A and B are shown apart, each in its own frame.
Chain A
Amino acid sequence: MSITVSNISKSYKSVKALENISFNVKEGELFGLIGPDGSGKTTLFRILTTLLIANEGSATVADFDVVADYKKIRNNVGYMPGKFSLYQDLTIEENLEFFATIFGTTIEENYDLIKDIYVQIEPFKDRRAGKLSGGMKQKLALCCALIHKPKVLFLDEPTTGVDPVSRKEFWEMLKRLQQKGITILVSTPYMDEAALCDRIALIQDGKILQIDTPQAIVKHYPKQIFNVRANNTYQLINSLKAYEHNHSVYPFGEFVHYTDKRADFEREDLIQYLESENLSDIEIEKTLPTIEDTFMELAK
């Protein structure tokens, strides 16, 4: 096991940040921690990177205990904190060189690991980090976290505030790193990124709601979801919520996701009801659940 977490709890004064968290990450796995801001992701990352000590429970990273062997962990992990944490007044090259030296290595020594990523920012290597775009900063931060060839990589919300193109490229890079045998623990508030992980843990209010592969998580969704659409979305939501058989009603992009309490849903009945509520252009069709649907169902 690359990471083991057992029964970790952590409180700040009266606030419980993490409650009884347990999970394992296998060697070479890309494991996602999915949850909104304030769900405890960052606290968990800080415990695993030896920056914080848990109130209860234990954890190991690369077979080292996070409290007793913290110095060894610090030699063997790469960490990219949520906020962009590089020196803005140093150039790309200077930042990378600095992190290489403090980890006791050189850029040349591990160049093959970062080459894919570094070539994309190399044309700007004399530019100061503060003047880079969000996507480039993030690539630089990843290079810096990788420069000492860590066994485990911790990425705390690496794609927050980054545009879709850079996000996509970033996930492609993670996949390639994974193939080089690096274990990756990544956190994100974006549900659509969950599908790109091998396994995910859904986390909210410091508790893990579910751990599984993304495919299994949506497969176990207990209900049939319907995409519902009508001429007035606001009225549609209100009407559906007032409908006696409704189990859940959530706006979902251009549709409303609706689930029914009954085992056999009567489509005609709902259409009639909606028409009686003065709605028109009604469309109802089956759709597949997403991770976000599961999340909402579990958090309900």
Chain B
Amino acid sequence: MKKENVIEAQNLTKMFGDFTAVNAISFEVKKGEIFGFLGANGAGKTTAMKMLIGISKPTSGKANVAGFDVFTNAEDIKKNIGYMSQKFALYDDLTVKENITFFGGIYGLSRKQIKEKSNNLIEALGLEEVANKLVGALPLGWKQKLSFSVALLHDPKIVFLDEPTGGVDSITRRQFWEMIYKAANQGTTVFVTTHYMDEAEYCDRVSIMVNGKIEALDTPKKLKQQFKVANMNDVFLKLARG
């Protein structure tokens, strides 16, 4: 069975004046896939992602996300995706429950749905004891797991993760990846941007951006074979050093 594409980009380009931040990138991401979007700082990752989530208009090219065109239906895209970034995820000065209610409300969930989802989520993460505590008081790892769950609250077709697991300890990081696997297994597409190459190893397929272009795109296994190296870090080093 061939799975449908939930992200399709063709020659997607973004220019800022004379500077080409994203240079005609093309790729597809399938339903339920974990897609790693790699590149050094300044390679154009963030700009490309902003176009895909509908907050930046491409200069040229075509892209379709969750069945909607990025030029004409940006607002519909926003309703069908979830977003989590390491920099901003949850409000530290709201409690766990208040955060869930707030984000549920933003995505138009009914009060009943919010209550039900909020209970499920708190139970699944084992947060019963801290449900009424401020998020700021939670350990980093818990916050990240919670914000990932919140990003999935409205059952989006695609969830975009911007450098999700930097800084957490190894075990919490595994638990986080297990959550990602679970979401993907249930049909949610996961789009991860990161410059941590060990994170790339967990993805089904990865693309590597260098200076605004996608220079490699395949499964981690095949990329390692192709470049004859032992890990993704070395793949990246070979690509970046030319």
Question: Which chain A residues have a beta carbon within 8 Å of chain B's beta carbons?
Answer: 35-39, 133-134, 160-161, 163-165, 168, 189-192, 204, 232-235, 237, 250-254, 292, 295-296, 299-300
Contact = CB atoms under 8 A, between A and B. Distances in A.
Contacts of A237: 178, 181
B170 A296 contact: yes
Given A251-B174, A296-B171, A234 B237 contact: no
Contacts of B139: 38
B202 A164 contact: no
Contacts, number: 81
The SS class assigned to the A binding surface is: mixed
Interface stretch (B15-23, B49-57, B98-106, B193-201): B193-201
24 contacts: A36-B167, A36-B168, A37-B140, A37-B168, A134-B41, A160-B166, A163-B40, A164-B195, A164-B233, A165-B40, A165-B241, A190-B198, A191-B170, A192-B233, A204-B169, A232-B185, A235-B185, A237-B181, A251-B202, A253-B202, A254-B219, A254-B220, A292-B170, A300-B171
B136 interface: no
The SS class assigned to the B binding surface is: helix
Contacts of A299: 169-171
A36 B169 contact: yes
B111 interface: no
Contacts of B184: 234
A274 B23 CA distance: 45
A292 B169 CA distance: 10
Closest 6 CB pairs of A and B: A253-B201, A36-B169, A163-B40, A37-B167, A234-B181, A234-B185
B237 A165 contact: yes
B113 to A, nearest CB: 25
A299 B177 CA distance: 18
A163 B197 CA distance: 9
Most chain B beta-carbon neighbours within 10 Å: one of A35, A134, A164: A164
Contacts of A234: 178, 181-182, 184-185
Contacts of A35: 169
